[in-house]
Every structure is written in C-alpha cells, then in structure tokens.
Amino acid sequence: EPVLSIVATPIGNLGDISSRALDVLAGADLVAAEDTRHTGRLLAHFNIKAEMISVHDHNERQRAELIIRHLQKGAQVVLVSDAGTPLISDPGFHLVKAVREAGFRVSPVPGCCAFVAALSASGLPSDRFFFEGFLPAKSGARQQRLEQLKAEVPTLIFYESTHRILASLEDMSSQFGAERYAVVARELTKTFETIHGASLGELIEWMTNDPMQQKGEFVVLVHGAPEKEAVIDPEAERIVRLLAAELP
Ligand code: SAM
C-alpha cells in the first residue's frame, strides 16, 4: 500500500533518531525534504541512500501534485524537515492535506519535537499549554500578538532564534510584566543544553550579562496568567437582586 510517512528527525543529538525512522527512510522510494543537502548529510550518516526532492514553503503545492503521482504508482514516500517533527513550525501542512484529500494513507513516525522536549523538562504546568511557535519578527507586530496572549492561562510556548531572543524576552516582559516566570530552553539535546527558569526581568539581565546564553536555538516557555476568579459585575448583581425580590 502506498503511504506518505511523516518522519521526525533529531533536534541536535543524532542518537535520538528512532530505529523505525531509519527503517522507513531506508525503505522509501522518495524522500521529500525541507533541505535536501541537510537531509542528505543525515542519511549519509546512517548509510541510507534515497532519491530526494525538496519541499519548502514556496513549492509545497506543486510538490504535492508530484508526490500524489508517485503514490498513484504505488510509491513509499517520506516527508522530513531539517529537525524535529515536520509541520511543527515547518513545511508539510499543504502536502498532508492534499495527500489525504487524494485518498492516500498518511502515517506518522513520531520522535523529537523541540517544544515537547522543553515542556517536559521545564517544571511549568504541562496539563494545558498554548503552542504559539515563532512570534512576528518586527517588534510592533510582536508586542501586539503578545498583548493578545497575556491573559491566557495555559503555559505559553514560543520558538525563537539567536537573532531575536533578547528582543523577544524584552517584549514579553513589557507585555506580561517583568515578574512573570518563564523558562528558556536552549540547545536541547546538544553539548550546551541549558534550561533556566526565572522571572522575565531576571532572564533578560542574565542573558545580557552572559551573551553566550544568547547563542543557539531556543524554546521559551512562559507561565500562564493566573486563573481569573469569576468576578460578578456589580451592576449585574444589583439587577439580579431586584429581579429576585419580584419573584413570588
Ligand atoms: N519541527 C521542529 C520541531 O519539531 O521542534 C521545529 C522547527 S523550527 C523551524 C526551529 C525552531 O525550533 C528553532 O528556532 C528553535 O526555536 C526550536 N528548536 C529546534 N531545535 C532546538 C533545540 N535543539 N533546542 C531548542 N530549541 C530548538
């Protein structure tokens, strides 16, 4: 049966590839990769040879047609991204939607995902969380988005790059308040893995004093807003009392 497999790859430590991921990659007729050079190096490391095509944000819709034609001929196709789980702040959504609509099976081969790894070790509430991914690159749009998120109760989870980590923490601090507790998870599964929790104000100070902490890849997790007590509008309460007095 032709299948499109969505295969997770490591987020730093190659030891995190699963044996099923290796089997599925080795058995693929076609590997659709975000960056074929990057994936080529991963496959070479594991002595896997495969035909590859690129699938990225700009060609995903055309590639979907090509991949569907391969599936119609009975091919086993794999989608991978540069790191972690495809479709999670990565290309693949349009492809998966089109392949499912064409009636083919899409099957996940799960593994690494940076935000799940970060959340699992952060010590922040993990029963409910809000995955936001990347914030807008420009500060104005970023502040606007953060303002919309400031009353959310679930743990807030963001992806951030070395270029914007400090600017984003500063915008978070101005929107959520410098006292809000947050955790920065840097370089997970790699040599300089650091998971550090403090108030946003303290995190900014810590990173400013130690610029090495601004290097690498980041997941930022912010404690959610306190659960609001059900506040009853005093005017509504007055009306309810008046109405209740009229009841027989
Ligand atoms: N698909 C990936 C996943 O499953 O997590 C995410 C891809 S997204 C383009 C890349 C972002 O994920 C980075 O900018 C960073 O925010 C986060 N990330 C990836 N690897 C990481 C790591 N080893 N440590 C911390 N964050 C990481």
Q: Is the CB of 129 under 6 A from ligand 1?
A: no
Let me know the angle formed at the C-alpha of 129 by 219 and 184, rounded to the nearest 5 degrees.
25
Tokens read off for 47 = 């002595």
Q: Could you give the CA distance from residue 153 to residue 143 in angstroms, rounded to a whole number? A: 18
For residue 117, pLDDT over 90 is answered with yes
Q: Is the CB of 218 under 6 A from ligand 1?
A: yes
Q: Is the CB of 84 under 6 A from ligand 1?
A: yes
Q: Is the CB of 114 under 6 A from ligand 1?
A: yes
Global pTM? 0.92
For residue 129, pLDDT over 90 is answered with yes
For residue 240, pLDDT over 90 is answered with no
159 Cα nearest atom in ligand 1: 16
- Residue of 152, 194, 196, 142 lying closest to 173 (CA atoms): 142
pLDDT bracket for residue 145 (50, 70, 90): very high
For residue 184, pLDDT over 90 is answered with yes
Rg (CA), the chain: 23
Counting residues of the chain whose pLDDT is more than 90, the rounded percentage is 91
Q: Is the CB of 161 under 6 A from ligand 1?
A: yes
Q: Could you give the CA distance from residue 84 to residue 219 in angstroms, rounded to a whole number? A: 13
Counting residues of the chain whose pLDDT is more than 70, the rounded percentage is 99
Q: Could you give the CA distance from residue 106 to residue 78 in angstroms, rounded to a whole number? A: 10
Which residue intervals of 73-151 are DSSP H helices? 93-101, 114-122, 139-149
Q: Which residues contact 12 (CB under 8 A, 6 or more apart)?
A: 83, 187, 188, 189, 190, 217
- Residue of 168, 138, 167 lying closest to 156 (CA atoms): 168
Distance from residue 157's CA to the centre of ligand 1 (Å): 12
